[in-house]
């Protein structure tokens, strides 16, 4: 079943074409990596799926429902930004609870959900701390917990590990992958790191200059690149 469908998405900033007729389908429960160099349009595409940007033209469907005009809060998505953006004046508990408090969920429901998701991410002992009292990896887990607490249908991640050092990156990578499979949550994972995409994704969409060049399993894009650029970027040049 197709969970997300992008149809002829164009996004212009003034005269500049950031997304040039993007067509992409993401299946239910799939981990899709969006892989491309800096400036290729990855974040723009992710924020368009999230509803933060409205496409200049084209349509976006979630479960065949046209969501193109819906604001982010009505799209049932969890979003994790590159620079985490935790609320500095709130404890970890409050940070994670915040999306549920916005929805005016009952207190005991909030408490149950915050503790459940904190446990999944192994941060249940950090709930009383403030963001500045956490390591980078812990902060990132909090950001992921905050994105998951609403039990979204779709998880959107923009280079979530790029601010971590190499060892921690591997650790959080494995954990995120495990969690994604466990929850079966449809995921778009933006990265410029080919090793990350190859290790984590069910399929990879390679993007360059606002165009998707190839979509396939890690094996397909690595061993059967359709463009010189794809092979080169994935580290398997002709």
Q: Which of 2, 1, 21 is nearest to 11 (CA)?
A: 21
Could you say which of 24, 31, 35, 44 contacts ligand ADP (CB under 6 A)? 44
Could you say which of 1, 15, 38, 88 contacts ligand ADP (CB under 6 A)? 38
| Residue that has been written with the tokens 């980078």 in this structure | 136
- If one asks whether residue 43 binds ligand ADP (CB under 6 A), the answer comes out as yes
**Dist. CA 148–CA 166, nearest whole Å:** 24
The H or E element containing residue 135 is: none
Partners of 190 in the β-ladder: 34, 158
**Dist. CA 181–CA 162, nearest whole Å:** 21
- If one asks whether residue 36 binds ligand ADP (CB under 6 A), the answer comes out as yes
Residues 7-26 that bind ligand ADP (CB under 6 A): 13, 16, 18
Interface positions with Mg ion (CB under 5 A): 43
Pairing of strands 57-62, 2-13: antiparallel
* Minimum distance of ligand ADP from residue 18's CB (angstroms): 4
- If one asks whether residue 42 binds ligand ADP (CB under 6 A), the answer comes out as yes
Q: What is the largest CA-CA distance in the chain?
A: 58
Which span sits near ligand ADP by CB under 6 A: 2-10, 37-45, 111-119, 165-173?
Answer: 37-45
**Dist. CA 59–CA 69, nearest whole Å:** 9
- If one asks whether residue 41 binds ligand ADP (CB under 6 A), the answer comes out as yes
Considering CB distances under 5 to 8 angstroms, the limit depending on partner class, which of ligand ADP, Mg ion, none binds residue 138? none
| Residue that has been written with the tokens 């409205």 in this structure | 54
**Dist. CA 214–CA 226, nearest whole Å:** 7
For residue 125, the 8-state DSSP code is G
* Minimum distance of ligand ADP from residue 16's CB (angstroms): 6
Total residues at interface with ligand ADP (CB under 6 A) = 11
Residue 138, Cβ neighbours under 10 Å: how many?
Answer: 19
Considering CB distances under 5 to 8 angstroms, the limit depending on partner class, which of ligand ADP, Mg ion, none binds residue 13? ligand ADP
Considering CB distances under 5 to 8 angstroms, the limit depending on partner class, which of ligand ADP, Mg ion, none binds residue 15? none
Closer residue to ligand ADP, CB minimum distance, 41 or 78 = 41
* Minimum distance of ligand ADP from residue 89's CB (angstroms): 27
- If one asks whether residue 39 binds ligand ADP (CB under 6 A), the answer comes out as yes
- Residue 94, exposed/middle/buried by CB under 10 A (0-12, 13-18, 19+)? middle
Site residues (vs ligand ADP, CB under 6 A): 13, 16, 18, 36, 38-44
């Amino acid at each position: 079943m197709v969970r997300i469908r992008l149809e002829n998405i164009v996004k212009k900033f003034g005269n500049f074409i950031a997304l040039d007729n993007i067509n992409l389908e993401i299946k239910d429960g799939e981990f899709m990596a969006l892989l491309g160099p800096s400036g290729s349009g990855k974040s723009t595409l992710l924020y368009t799926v999230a509803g933060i940007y409205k496409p200049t033209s084209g349509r976006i469907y979630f479960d065949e429902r046209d969501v193109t005009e819906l604001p982010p809060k009505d799209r049932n998505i969890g979003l994790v930004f590159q620079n985490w953006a935790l609320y500095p004046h709130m404890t970890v508990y409050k940070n994670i609870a915040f999306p549920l408090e916005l929805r005016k969920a009952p207190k005991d429901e909030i408490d149950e959900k915050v503790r459940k998701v904190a446990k999944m991410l192994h941060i249940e002992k950090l709930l009383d701390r403030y963001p500045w009292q956490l390591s980078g990896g812990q902060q990132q887990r909090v950001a992921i917990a905050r994105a998951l607490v609403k039990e979204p249908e779709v998880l959107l991640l923009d280079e979530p590990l790029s601010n971590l050092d190499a060892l921690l990156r591997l650790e959080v990578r494995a954990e995120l992958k495990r969690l994604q499979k466990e929850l079966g949550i449809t995921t778009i994972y933006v990265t410029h790191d080919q090793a990350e995409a190859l290790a984590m994704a069910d399929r990879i969409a390679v993007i360059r200059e606002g165009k998707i060049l190839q979509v396939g399993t890690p094996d397909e894009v690595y061993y059967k690149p359709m463009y010189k650029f794809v092979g080169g970027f994935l580290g398997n040049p002709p």
